[in-house]
Chains A and B, each alone.
Chain A
Amino acid sequence: NAGVMQNPRHLVRRRGQEARLRCSPMKGHSHVYWYRQLPEEGLKFMVYLQKENIIDESGMPKERFSAEFPKEGPSILRIQQVVRGDSAAYFCASSHPGQGAYEQYFGPGTRLTVT
């Protein structure tokens, strides 16, 4: 059973470009979470999605950031008009509803560098 997959692992964008980060949850998982880790800082929650629904976006910046988890395909975190402050590691996690442990399984992350 493959783990959570994220791609690309490394992404370089110039200021003003768009960044698209993809996350494929573990097989059978229908809940996806995105977290951001700025350099030398802790992990911060961004958004929680179920298939075709945003459940909690309390950690998402108000502008330029959006997320989706379509019925088919991976979850996408989209950052428009990137700025240097968006440089960070972005982690995706997934979980399976109904499992007793309710743990979240994390992917290896996408490291975004904005030049």
Chain B
Amino acid sequence: DAKTTQPNSMESNEEEPVHLPCNHSTISGTDYIHWYRQLPSQGPEYVIHGLTSNVNNRMASLAIAEDRKSSTLILHRATLRDAAVYYCILRDGDTGANSKLTFGKGITLSVRP
């Protein structure tokens, strides 16, 4: 799987939007961009994924650069419960729908009340 680069940490204020960046300059044409998060002492949780177009769901939005070399996870109104480690992961669509996830260090999001 291609490599992603994320900042180590980010701070946000409660009820403000949060933009979590991810660089993936070596992304291939068949790589999907997935985001997972891990709350303290819990298992990872799927957040969102996309290929080329921006995506929205009830949890977040995913903005993908036109050249696909970077993406941004957007939490529209951060809550204290959003404090977690957020992982940006590339998955090769050619290897099939079901394949392993390769986790990096992720970005640790802190939310100030």
A interface residue numbers (CB < 8 A to B):
4, 31, 33, 35, 42-45, 48, 55-56, 58-59, 91, 93, 95, 97-99, 101-109
* B11-68 with Cβ < 8 A to chain A: 32, 34, 38, 42-46, 49
Docked complex Cα distance between A20 and B99 (Å): 24
Q: List 20 A-B contacts (CB under 8 A).
A: A33-B100, A43-B87, A43-B101, A55-B98, A59-B100, A91-B44, A93-B43, A98-B97, A99-B97, A101-B49, A102-B49, A102-B91, A103-B34, A103-B49, A104-B46, A104-B101, A105-B46, A108-B43, A109-B42, A109-B43
CA–CA, A95 to B42, complex, Å? 18
Given contacts A42-B104, A42-B105, contact A103 B46 (CB under 8 A): yes
A101: B residues at CB distance < 8 A: 46, 49
Q: Point out residues on B near A: beta carbons under 8 Å.
A: 32, 34, 38, 42-46, 49, 87, 91, 97-106
Residues of B within 8 A of A104 (CB): 44, 46, 101
- Is A102 a contact of B44 with CB atoms below 8 Å? no
Which listed residue, B32, B100, B102, B104, touches A48 by the CB 8 Å rule? Answer: B100
Q: Are A106's CB and B43's CB within 8 A?
A: yes
Closest approach, in angstroms, between the C-beta of A2 and any C-beta of chain B? 14
Q: How far apart are the CA atoms of A98 and B49 in the complex, in Å?
A: 16
Contact B98 A45 (CB under 8 A): no
